[in-house]
Amino acid sequence: MLALGDITAGYGETTVLREVSLWVPPASVVALLGANGAGKTTLLRVASGLCRPRSGTVRMDGADVTGHRPHVTARRGMCHIPEGRGVFPHLSVRENLAIHAAGGDADETVDRAVSAFPVLGSKLGQQAGALSGGQQQMLALSRAYLTDPCYVLLDEVSMGLAPVVVDEIFEFLTGLRRQGCALLLVEQYVTRALAVADYVYLLSRGRVEFAGEPGELDAEQLTARYLGTDHGN
Ligand SMILES: Nc1ncnc2c1ncn2[C@@H]1O[C@H](COP(=O)(O)OP(=O)(O)OP(=O)(O)O)[C@@H](O)[C@H]1O
Ligand SMILES: [Mg+2]
């Protein structure tokens, strides 16, 4: 279980999260929804250790990891896929993937990534920055497959991508979950997020406004009231 308890956090004088508690059970999908600026990214940053909370605790499988640096939470099985495309643009696709071999066999690591995202197979020699947005996101997401994490934090990974690419990404996420990963999913495509989620949290101005099962929420009402326009997916 990934457990955030009574998290208060912010930047400088600004308080962004106020006493937020959230649980991600093993092998579950938890959707974290909320309007722009609600604090979703900040919450993921607190969970992975990129942002130290002012108060509250972060626990992974019972161990207190509050304020532990990201490389420490990563070693314990946390994988944070940040907003934007998390790749090294000037390195080749192969070099980007080989980073995750962690001293093991780079070729095998590359093969595993290609098995998850076949399109990368024909691009291995290209600079990552020259890939399409969707291909770059697949390259970034490969990390969640290659490092065998327990908890994957996903920050708007389908942002700006064509529906067919979004489909492929959601299939990949479903596969991760089948393998036993738990996912904390921040997603602009509310309908898609609710379709895969076991639990949903609605964040409003830094507080949990709703926590429960997706079936308890009326998606249309949710969209109209809290999130502006859903982008039709
Ligand atoms: N590095 C920072 N320094 C100061 N304030 C920040 C910083 N990052 C975010 N904020 C502020 O914190 C608040 C919450 O931001 P956050 O990025 O967590 O929201 P979000 O829910 O992810 O929004 P979005 O849907 O737009 O991605 C916003 O008011 C934002 O301006
Ligand atoms: Mg955000």
Residues 3, 23 contacting (CB under 8 angstroms): yes
Give percent above pLDDT 70 in the chain: 94
pLDDT in tens, 22-58: 999 999 999 999 989 999 999 999 999 999 999 999 9
Please give the structure tokens belonging to residue 101: 């071999």
Local confidence band at 190 (pLDDT 50, 70, 90 cut-offs): confident
User: Residue 135: which of 104, 190, 96 has the closest Cα?
Assistant: 96
Average of pLDDT values for 126-154? 95
Query: Ligand 1 within 6 A of 16 CB?
Result: yes
Q: How do beta strands 207-212 and 199-204 pair?
A: antiparallel
By three-state DSSP, how is residue 206 classified? coil
Q: What is the pLDDT of residue 50?
A: 96
Please give the structure tokens belonging to residue 232: 């039709």
Local confidence band at 217 (pLDDT 50, 70, 90 cut-offs): confident
- Of the listed ligands, the closest to the CA of 37 is 1
CA atoms of 80 and 114, how far apart (whole Å): 21
Atom nearest to 206 CA in ligand 1 = 14
Average of pLDDT values for 137-155? 95
Average of pLDDT values for 56-65? 97
Please state the separation of Cα 95 from the chain's center in Å. Answer: 23
Domain spans of the chain, in order of start: 1-41+71-77+149-233, 88-147
Please give the structure tokens belonging to residue 137: 């996101």
Atom nearest to 43 CA in ligand 1 = 18
Local confidence band at 228 (pLDDT 50, 70, 90 cut-offs): low
Please give the structure tokens belonging to residue 54: 């002012």
Local confidence band at 233 (pLDDT 50, 70, 90 cut-offs): very low
Is the Cα torsion angle 25, 28, 34, 38 positive or negative in sign? Answer: positive
Mean pLDDT of the chain: 92
Residues 39, 232 contacting (CB under 8 angstroms): no
pLDDT in tens, 200-211: 999 999 999 999
pLDDT in tens, 157-184: 999 899 999 999 999 999 999 999 999 9
Report domain 1-41+71-77+149-233's class: alpha beta
Atom nearest to 156 CA in ligand 1 = 27
- Of the listed ligands, the closest to the CA of 46 is 1
Q: Dihedral of the CA atoms 148, 150, 156, 158 (nearest 10)?
A: 50
Rounded distance from Cα 36 to ligand 1 centre (Å): 8
CA atoms of 144 and 80, how far apart (whole Å): 8
CA atoms of 169 and 161, how far apart (whole Å): 10
pLDDT in tens, 95-119: 999 998 877 889 999 999 999 999 9
Total-model pTM: 0.93
pLDDT value at 151 more than 80 = yes
Query: Ligand 1 within 6 A of 38 CB?
Result: yes
More confident residue, 94 or 102: 94
More confident residue, 95 or 189: 95
